[in-house]
Amino acid sequence: MSLRTLVVDDHEAARRGLVELLNGTAVSVTKAVADGEVALQHLANEDFDVVLVDVQMKKMDGLSLLASIRELHPDLPVVFISAYDYPIYMARAVANGAQDYVLKSDSAELISNTLCHACENGSSYPNGLLDRIRRKMSETIKASDLPTELPLTPREAQVLRHVAFGLSNREIAKSLGISVETVKEHVQNILRKTGSSDRTHVAVRAVRLGLID
Protein backbone atom coordinates (compact mmCIF):
# COMPACT_ATOMS: atom_id res chain seq x y z
CA MET A 1 0.00 0.00 0.00
CA SER A 2 1.42 3.40 -0.99
CA LEU A 3 2.11 5.98 1.69
CA ARG A 4 -0.42 8.80 1.54
CA THR A 5 1.87 11.80 1.35
CA LEU A 6 1.19 15.52 1.63
CA VAL A 7 3.84 17.60 -0.16
CA VAL A 8 4.23 21.25 0.87
CA ASP A 9 6.47 23.42 -1.32
CA ASP A 10 5.91 26.98 -2.56
CA HIS A 11 7.60 26.30 -5.91
CA GLU A 12 5.25 24.78 -8.47
CA ALA A 13 8.09 23.17 -10.41
CA ALA A 14 9.31 21.47 -7.22
CA ARG A 15 5.84 20.15 -6.39
CA ARG A 16 5.32 18.78 -9.88
CA GLY A 17 8.81 17.36 -9.90
CA LEU A 18 8.25 15.45 -6.66
CA VAL A 19 4.97 14.03 -7.92
CA GLU A 20 6.72 12.80 -11.04
CA LEU A 21 9.84 11.62 -9.20
CA LEU A 22 7.94 9.55 -6.65
CA ASN A 23 5.53 8.04 -9.16
CA GLY A 24 5.97 4.29 -9.11
CA THR A 25 7.61 4.17 -5.66
CA ALA A 26 6.10 3.17 -2.32
CA VAL A 27 5.04 6.79 -1.90
CA SER A 28 1.84 8.26 -3.29
CA VAL A 29 1.66 12.07 -3.38
CA THR A 30 -1.98 12.46 -2.39
CA LYS A 31 -1.85 16.27 -2.24
CA ALA A 32 0.76 18.84 -3.23
CA VAL A 33 0.14 22.36 -1.90
CA ALA A 34 1.95 25.68 -1.99
CA ASP A 35 1.85 26.89 1.62
CA GLY A 36 1.53 25.83 5.22
CA GLU A 37 -1.91 27.27 5.89
CA VAL A 38 -3.43 25.24 3.06
CA ALA A 39 -1.53 22.21 4.30
CA LEU A 40 -3.06 22.57 7.77
CA GLN A 41 -6.53 22.78 6.25
CA HIS A 42 -5.97 19.50 4.41
CA LEU A 43 -4.53 17.87 7.54
CA ALA A 44 -7.68 18.84 9.44
CA ASN A 45 -9.94 17.11 6.93
CA GLU A 46 -7.92 14.25 5.43
CA ASP A 47 -5.69 11.43 6.63
CA PHE A 48 -2.06 11.30 5.56
CA ASP A 49 0.73 8.93 6.50
CA VAL A 50 3.54 11.46 6.20
CA VAL A 51 4.19 15.11 5.30
CA LEU A 52 7.11 16.18 3.09
CA VAL A 53 7.83 19.87 3.72
CA ASP A 54 10.17 22.37 2.09
CA VAL A 55 12.30 24.06 4.75
CA GLN A 56 12.26 27.53 3.17
CA MET A 57 8.87 28.92 2.16
CA LYS A 58 7.81 32.56 2.05
CA LYS A 59 4.32 32.48 3.56
CA MET A 60 4.99 30.00 6.37
CA ASP A 61 8.39 28.38 6.61
CA GLY A 62 8.81 24.68 7.22
CA LEU A 63 9.75 25.01 10.88
CA SER A 64 6.66 27.10 11.64
CA LEU A 65 4.49 24.54 9.87
CA LEU A 66 6.18 21.75 11.81
CA ALA A 67 5.36 23.50 15.10
CA SER A 68 1.68 23.68 14.11
CA ILE A 69 1.62 20.06 12.98
CA ARG A 70 3.16 18.93 16.26
CA GLU A 71 0.44 20.74 18.22
CA LEU A 72 -2.42 19.29 16.17
CA HIS A 73 -0.98 15.95 15.01
CA PRO A 74 1.84 15.04 17.41
CA ASP A 75 2.45 11.59 15.95
CA LEU A 76 2.33 12.44 12.25
CA PRO A 77 5.77 11.92 10.64
CA VAL A 78 7.23 15.06 9.07
CA VAL A 79 10.22 14.98 6.74
CA PHE A 80 11.93 18.14 5.51
CA ILE A 81 13.19 18.56 1.97
CA SER A 82 15.63 21.24 0.87
CA ALA A 83 18.12 22.16 -1.80
CA TYR A 84 20.67 22.79 0.96
CA ASP A 85 22.32 20.51 3.50
CA TYR A 86 23.05 23.31 5.96
CA PRO A 87 23.77 21.92 9.46
CA ILE A 88 21.71 24.69 11.10
CA TYR A 89 18.61 23.66 9.15
CA MET A 90 19.10 20.04 10.12
CA ALA A 91 19.85 20.80 13.76
CA ARG A 92 16.71 22.92 14.04
CA ALA A 93 14.74 20.14 12.34
CA VAL A 94 15.95 17.71 15.02
CA ALA A 95 15.17 20.09 17.88
CA ASN A 96 11.67 20.78 16.61
CA GLY A 97 10.68 17.15 16.14
CA ALA A 98 11.10 16.37 12.45
CA GLN A 99 11.63 12.71 11.62
CA ASP A 100 14.08 13.29 8.79
CA TYR A 101 15.60 15.56 6.17
CA VAL A 102 16.25 14.87 2.48
CA LEU A 103 17.70 16.88 -0.38
CA LYS A 104 15.96 17.81 -3.61
CA SER A 105 18.94 16.29 -5.41
CA ASP A 106 18.42 12.90 -3.74
CA SER A 107 17.21 9.92 -5.75
CA ALA A 108 13.60 8.78 -5.78
CA GLU A 109 14.71 5.59 -4.02
CA LEU A 110 16.38 7.44 -1.16
CA ILE A 111 13.47 9.84 -0.66
CA SER A 112 10.99 6.97 -0.78
CA ASN A 113 13.05 4.86 1.65
CA THR A 114 13.40 7.81 4.02
CA LEU A 115 9.65 8.48 4.06
CA CYS A 116 8.89 4.79 4.58
CA HIS A 117 11.38 4.55 7.43
CA ALA A 118 9.92 7.67 9.08
CA CYS A 119 6.45 6.11 8.97
CA GLU A 120 7.49 2.65 10.10
CA ASN A 121 9.95 3.65 12.82
CA GLY A 122 9.20 7.28 13.66
CA SER A 123 12.87 8.11 13.34
CA SER A 124 15.55 9.22 10.89
CA TYR A 125 17.00 6.94 8.22
CA PRO A 126 20.11 5.18 9.59
CA ASN A 127 23.28 7.14 8.88
CA GLY A 128 21.35 9.67 6.80
CA LEU A 129 21.83 13.43 6.98
CA LEU A 130 19.56 14.01 9.96
CA ASP A 131 20.64 10.86 11.76
CA ARG A 132 24.27 12.02 11.83
CA ILE A 133 23.29 15.46 13.13
CA ARG A 134 20.94 13.92 15.72
CA ARG A 135 23.71 11.69 17.08
CA LYS A 136 26.14 14.60 17.18
CA MET A 137 23.66 16.70 19.16
CA SER A 138 22.92 13.95 21.68
CA GLU A 139 26.41 12.60 22.31
CA THR A 140 28.14 13.29 25.61
CA ILE A 141 31.26 15.44 25.51
CA LYS A 142 33.98 14.68 28.04
CA ALA A 143 35.54 17.71 29.69
CA SER A 144 38.97 16.15 29.12
CA ASP A 145 38.34 16.11 25.35
CA LEU A 146 37.69 19.84 25.15
CA PRO A 147 40.37 22.32 24.09
CA THR A 148 41.77 24.54 26.83
CA GLU A 149 39.90 27.50 25.31
CA LEU A 150 36.64 25.83 26.39
CA PRO A 151 36.92 25.13 30.16
CA LEU A 152 33.38 23.75 30.40
CA THR A 153 31.46 20.95 32.05
CA PRO A 154 30.13 18.17 29.76
CA ARG A 155 26.60 19.64 29.89
CA GLU A 156 27.85 23.15 29.14
CA ALA A 157 29.81 21.78 26.19
CA GLN A 158 26.68 20.06 24.92
CA VAL A 159 24.71 23.30 25.21
CA LEU A 160 27.51 25.17 23.43
CA ARG A 161 27.38 22.67 20.57
CA HIS A 162 23.67 23.47 20.20
CA VAL A 163 24.43 27.21 20.27
CA ALA A 164 27.06 26.66 17.57
CA PHE A 165 24.43 24.92 15.45
CA GLY A 166 22.38 28.12 15.66
CA LEU A 167 19.59 26.92 17.95
CA SER A 168 17.57 29.22 20.16
CA ASN A 169 17.29 28.66 23.92
CA ARG A 170 13.83 27.18 23.42
CA GLU A 171 15.09 24.76 20.78
CA ILE A 172 18.05 23.74 22.96
CA ALA A 173 15.67 23.08 25.84
CA LYS A 174 13.49 20.86 23.65
CA SER A 175 16.46 19.00 22.24
CA LEU A 176 18.07 18.28 25.63
CA GLY A 177 14.89 17.86 27.66
CA ILE A 178 15.69 20.66 30.10
CA SER A 179 14.01 23.96 30.94
CA VAL A 180 14.64 27.20 29.09
CA GLU A 181 15.79 28.78 32.36
CA THR A 182 18.39 26.04 32.77
CA VAL A 183 19.61 26.67 29.23
CA LYS A 184 19.93 30.39 29.98
CA GLU A 185 22.04 29.59 33.07
CA HIS A 186 24.30 27.31 31.05
CA VAL A 187 24.73 29.95 28.33
CA GLN A 188 25.66 32.60 30.91
CA ASN A 189 28.21 30.23 32.45
CA ILE A 190 29.64 29.48 29.01
CA LEU A 191 30.04 33.17 28.18
CA ARG A 192 31.68 33.85 31.55
CA LYS A 193 34.07 30.89 31.42
CA THR A 194 35.16 31.54 27.83
CA GLY A 195 35.34 35.33 28.15
CA SER A 196 32.96 35.73 25.22
CA SER A 197 30.96 38.91 24.65
CA ASP A 198 27.82 37.19 23.37
CA ARG A 199 26.50 33.88 22.04
CA THR A 200 27.47 34.72 18.46
CA HIS A 201 31.06 35.25 19.53
CA VAL A 202 31.24 31.98 21.46
CA ALA A 203 29.44 30.10 18.67
CA VAL A 204 32.03 31.21 16.13
CA ARG A 205 34.80 30.09 18.48
CA ALA A 206 33.13 26.73 19.01
CA VAL A 207 32.83 26.16 15.27
CA ARG A 208 36.47 27.16 14.76
CA LEU A 209 37.54 24.72 17.47
CA GLY A 210 35.67 21.86 15.78
CA LEU A 211 32.81 21.36 18.24
CA ILE A 212 30.25 20.61 15.53
CA ASP A 213 32.50 18.59 13.22
The pLDDT of residue 59 is above 90: no
Task: Provide the domain limits for residue 109.
Answer: 3-127
Which tens digits make up the pLDDT trace of 111-131? 999 999 999 999 999 999 999
Last residue of a domain, one of 69, 103, 127: 127
- Counting the structural domains of the chain, the total is 2
Give the E-state strand segments of the chain in sequence order. 3-8, 27-33, 50-54, 78-82, 100-103
Average pLDDT of the chain to the nearest whole number: 95
Q: Is residue 134 part of a domain?
A: no
Helix (H) or strand (E) segment spanning residue 173: helix 169-176
- Does 133 map to a domain? no
From 81, 97, 127, the end of a domain falls on 127
Is the Cα dihedral 3, 80, 74, 177 positive or negative? Answer: positive
Share of the chain above pLDDT 90, in %: 94
CATH number of the domain bearing residue 59: 3.40.50.2300
Are residues 167 and 102 both part of a single domain?
Answer: no
- The answer as to whether 213 is a domain residue is no
Q: State the average pLDDT over residues 67-93.
A: 95
Chain segment 16-39, per-residue pLDDT in tens: 999 999 999 999 999 999 999 999
pLDDT band at 1 (very low <50, low <70, confident <90, very high): low
Looking at the structure, tell me whether residues 64 and 93 fall in a common domain.
Answer: yes
Q: Do 17 and 65 fall into the same domain?
A: yes
The pTM assigned to this predicted structure is: 0.91
Taking the C-alpha atoms of residue 213 and residue 209, their distance in angstroms, rounded to an integer, is 9
